[in-house]
Structure 1
Amino acid sequence: MGDAHRVGVVGLGVISRAYLDTLAGHPAVHVTAVADLDATRSASVAGELPGAAALTVGELLSSPDVDTVLNLTVPAAHAEIALGAVARGKHVYGEKPLAATLDDARAVLAAAAAAGVGVGCAPDTVLGTGVQTARAAVAAGAVGRPLFATAVMVTPGHERWHPQPDFYYAPGGGPLFDMGPYYLASLVHLLGPVRAVTGASSRLRAERVIGSGPRAGERIPVSVDSHVSGVLEHVSGALTTITTSFDGVATTAAPIEVHGETGTLSVPDPNWFDGEVRLFELGATRWRALPPSAGYAEGARGVGLLDFIAADASRAPRASGDLALHVLEAMSALLRSSSEGRRVDLTTAPALPAPVPLTTAEQWRARPTAP
């Protein structure tokens, strides 16, 4: 593999397959080790990856053959694994959220800064052609001055399809902490950081029923709010109304809409990398689709890690720990606002990530990612 960056993967659940499909065989990366609480699963996955060793979590975090730890554990373990990696001088890139609590997330970034290592965090879907084309359109003045946005995510709950859904209803889960990062990260790319929030939330069911897998029919407790709504006040002056819910059946609302003085932009589902961006201009009679003009084309989970690895002194990682901390603070503030019945100011204000120039799948799969 030559000078390929060495990655160790901790946590081999459902999402790991999507990451490994992207990373395995990429010339910039060598997956050298995998670890999971299930040793049999570790051995099975390692057997599919040339040169990868099946290790315990402790062995992987200490391995001299790992440069960056890819942390795909459940949210409750994100901080523990990240801190363990940082303590051993390793970079860490993790699934969202950055940690289950804001204090834990701050501790991770503080430890990383002290150790001189980097922290990156999902979602990287916002680096695809969907959100990046929309961002380019906003920056080019397609809607004039942005005034407000709406963001809506409604599903009946992940227990219907996930065979082990417990963590979705434990601290660090819920519709806001699970799906909110896609929407909030997108909104930061589109409208800039958030300065304050006002929120309201509810939890109308005490338990959920698993709908698939060997535990189908089992009831699990709900210990987080399953419906969260709120208003985000962006530093730019724009306002976003956001709803995330595991309590609805379906919705006809666009995932994200940006409304400006001269137009409205419809942004595709930020849970995916691509999708059609549509513009309705003031005085027009219909929506028109915008061709992809920015982003990683045909993006896939793991492109954010490739972007993280390729970052240098001239360009910070786009899926950065600073952005993830801001998103986590905004989500935590929404729940705090709901609990306390008041507007909550944010303390973080990350730099806006560099936009992603249009980069074909052939380009990013064959070499380090966009500058």
Structure 2
Amino acid sequence: MGQPLTPLRVGIIGCGNIVAQYLETFARIDTVHLVAVADLVPERAAEVAARVPGVRPMSIDELLADPDIRLVVNLTIPAAHAEVSLRILAAGKEVYSEKPLAAELPAARDVLEAASRAGLWVGCAPDTVLGVGLQTARKAIDDGAIGRPIAATATMVTPGHERWHPNPDFYYLPGGGPLLDMGPYYVSALVQLLGPVVEVSGAASRLRTERVIGSGPREGERVPVETDTHISGVLTHESGALSTLVMSFDAVATHSANIEVHGETGSLTVPDPNNFDGETRLHALGASEWIALPPAAGYVGAGRGVGVHDRAIARDPGDARASGAVGFHVLEVMLSLLQSAGEGRSVPVSSTVERPAPVPLTAL
């Protein structure tokens, strides 16, 4: 047997709502050791550090200067992702960013180029695609369960985050909206299942010019809507398969599966790509009903931060699956879709990426 891996020593910048899920994952794996946390609001970092024995609250500058930290998890707001990731790389540390990689494509490109010059790895959420739900569906496709894939549908419908989020402003500013907020889960899943995208065509609208906060200390306050809140599009994959995407903060509900994939000899329903597990169901050509497929691939019991675990166990950084290259391609697909909606024409996607290696059925 080989020598056990030394835990990857990490820090976190950004102590908002999502940090709790990363803390929970890091607490139950031995491949990642959380050293310190930082936030623009020091009290937030102190509160988060108090939850985890041995974790130190720091200023952002202190965390970036700490030689004990090898990788920094960037959990800042989307508009700050690129700026913070560039600072992390400049400090000589690897970075794993929450989605999206950046709010704009040139900024995302700057991050990847800075990482390449420094010889450092960049990773990007979502890592939900590494869980049992999505990976079982991918294995079924790769094993030929539906024959040659022809098409997919991806549907996310909610009446809006202001109904539950106490500070929903950024969801309705440029860089927000349903596509850039929830689209990374769905587009990343489609890339995992069907490969890279070469062209997109889209349309978009917005139902209201303002939203009313429904909970918390700001309940009743009105928030301006400065971005489109319903986006529809068609993604043409390099393989020739076509994916139809609907992302909405305007519609109320849907009976549609989160994702369906159709092939010549069968169809699959794929579980919610915002989660790590869930049931994949197959309807084979000539069958009378859908059947549930047993878990056959993916990290069992995964949670947010499993992408950092995947990096920690990778002997070669290029083997880590939740990569910045995937994050960049997904971002370009989404921004191209918004460009297409604004210009009323199909838009080519210039970047490409190889599908990451599948994840064998593996308990964390």
TM-score range (shorter-chain normalised) is: over 0.9
Alignment map for 1:259-298 (pairs within 5 Å) = 259-298=262-301
> Once the 2 structures are TM-superposed, how far is the Cα of residue 62 of structure 1 from its aligned partner?
2.2
CA contact (8 A) 2:281 2:292 kept: yes
Counterpart residue type for residue 258 of structure 1: V
CA contact (8 A) 1:76 1:171 kept: no
> Once the 2 structures are TM-superposed, how far is the Cα of residue 52 of structure 1 from its aligned partner?
1.8
Structure 2 match to 1:64: 67
Structure 1 match to 2:224: 221
CA contact (8 A) 2:298 2:362 kept: yes
Q: What's the TM-score, normalizing by structure 2?
A: 0.96
CA contact (8 A) 2:158 2:249 kept: yes
Instruction: Map Cα deviations across residues 21-57 of structure 1 (whole Å, 9 max, x no partner).
Output: 1113532222111111221121121122222221112
Instruction: Map Cα deviations across residues 87-116 of structure 1 (whole Å, 9 max, x no partner).
Output: 111100011000111111010000010011
> Once the 2 structures are TM-superposed, how far is the Cα of residue 317 of structure 1 from its aligned partner?
1.2
Alignment map for 1:76-95 (pairs within 5 Å) = 76-95=79-98
Structure 2 match to 1:144: 147
Counterpart residue type for residue 199 of structure 1: G
Structure 2 match to 1:185: 188
Q: CA RMSD in A?
A: 1.2
Local SS of the residue matching 1:30: strand
Structure 1 unaligned spans of 5+: 365-371
Counterpart residue type for residue 266 of structure 2: G
Is 2:16 aligned against 1:13? yes
Give distance in 2, aligned partners of 1:35 and 1:167.
Answer: 21
Local SS of the residue matching 2:51: coil
Counterpart residue type for residue 175 of structure 1: P
Instruction: Map Cα deviations across residues 54-86 of structure 1 (whole Å, 9 max, x no partner).
Output: 111222122222111100111001001100000
Give distance in 2, aligned partners of 1:184 and 1:113.
Answer: 25
> Once the 2 structures are TM-superposed, how far is the Cα of residue 314 of structure 1 from its aligned partner?
7.9
Local SS of the residue matching 2:362: coil
Structure 2 match to 1:333: 336
CA contact (8 A) 1:230 1:242 kept: yes
Counterpart residue type for residue 38 of structure 2: A
Match of 1:201 among 192, 200, 204: 204
Structure 2 unaligned spans of 5+: none
> Once the 2 structures are TM-superposed, how far is the Cα of residue 315 of structure 1 from its aligned partner?
5.4
Q: How many residues align?
A: 360
Moved more, 262-271 or 312-321: 312-321
Give distance in 2, aligned partners of 1:278 and 1:46.
Answer: 41
Instruction: Map Cα deviations across residues 1-32 of structure 1 (whole Å, 9 max, x no partner).
Output: x9422111011111100001111353222211
Is 2:49 aligned against 1:53? no
Moved more, 121-130 or 2-11: 2-11
Structure 2 match to 1:256: 259
Alignment map for 1:105-116 (pairs within 5 Å) = 105-116=108-119
Is 2:143 aligned against 1:132? no
Local SS of the residue matching 1:233: strand
Give distance in 1, aligned partners of 2:7 and 2:322.
Answer: 20
Structure 2 match to 1:368: none
Counterpart residue type for residue 60 of structure 1: L
> Once the 2 structures are TM-superposed, how far is the Cα of residue 204 of structure 1 from its aligned partner?
2.3
CA contact (8 A) 2:15 2:38 kept: yes
Percent identity, aligned pairs only, is 61
Alignment map for 1:16-31 (pairs within 5 Å) = 16-24=19-27, 26-31=29-34
> Once the 2 structures are TM-superposed, how far is the Cα of residue 221 of structure 1 from its aligned partner?
1.4
Runs of 4+ in 1 over 4 A off after TM superposition: none
Alignment map for 1:92-107 (pairs within 5 Å) = 92-107=95-110
